[in-house]
Structure 1
Amino acid sequence: MELINNTAKNRLELHIDGYVAFEDYKIQEDSISYLHTEVPAELAGNGVGSTLAKMILDFAAEQHLKVKPICPFIKAYIDKHPNYQANSVFHNPDL
């Protein structure tokens, strides 16, 4: 799967079987706010949301952006995966 940065819509996308799962984002200077996660009902229950979360968090790290997880799904994913907490402003007060 390839993560697509749709800059026209300010979202990161996964295209799967004709459907699009995505995360809306906003970039500010050296950080990225993840605002809303959407996975089509047709893809639900297959781990697409978790795959998307992992990929967007890896994207932020690769781009050297601190993560502001406004979306509750992304915040919960970070809470469950300590390896992403150091790059989250809600877990690392130094950011």
Structure 2
Amino acid sequence: MSELNKEIPLIINGDANRFELHIDGHLAVIEYSMKGDVFVLLHTEVDKALEGRGIAAILTEKTFHHLESIGAKIIPLCPYIVGYLKKHPEWMRIVQNH
């Protein structure tokens, strides 16, 4: 785990239906909706000022750890999340009906 990963807390913003990282005054988010008790991951967005630092991967990893810790499952609709799961198949364990 990188130092950046350890230092930045994941913010669960239930009012906005998103997981957030706040870094140097900039925002990275994974937007979701709920299908019953399953998190449907819709969109990942990282502020342009943060691009190229692996922030989307850190956000995804932190989100997956959180969701696994609460026993949640996901439906990945976001293309970034789908690609991340292909590179990290160990996380398929939290995908609904996998």
TM-score (norm 1): 0.89
1 CA distance for matches of 2:70 and 2:81? 18
Structure 1: gaps spanning 5 or more residues: none
Amino acid in the other structure paired with 1:44? E
Partner of 2:43: 36
Identity of aligned residues (%): 35
- Give CA-to-partner distance per residue, 1:24-48, whole Å, 9 cap, x none: 0112333111100000010000000
Runs of 4+ in 1 over 4 A off after TM superposition: none
Partner of 2:3: none
- Give CA-to-partner distance per residue, 1:3-24, whole Å, 9 cap, x none: 0011111110000000010010
2 CA distance for matches of 1:27 and 1:63? 15
User: Which region of structure 1 is more displaced relative to structure 2, 55-64 or 9-18?
Assistant: 55-64
User: Which region of structure 1 is more displaced relative to structure 2, 32-41 or 57-66?
Assistant: 57-66
1 CA distance for matches of 2:75 and 2:32? 10
Partner of 1:87: 94
2 CA distance for matches of 1:62 and 1:25? 17
2 CA distance for matches of 1:36 and 1:43? 17
Higher helix share: 2
Structure 2: gaps spanning 5 or more residues: 1-7
TM-score (norm 2): 0.86
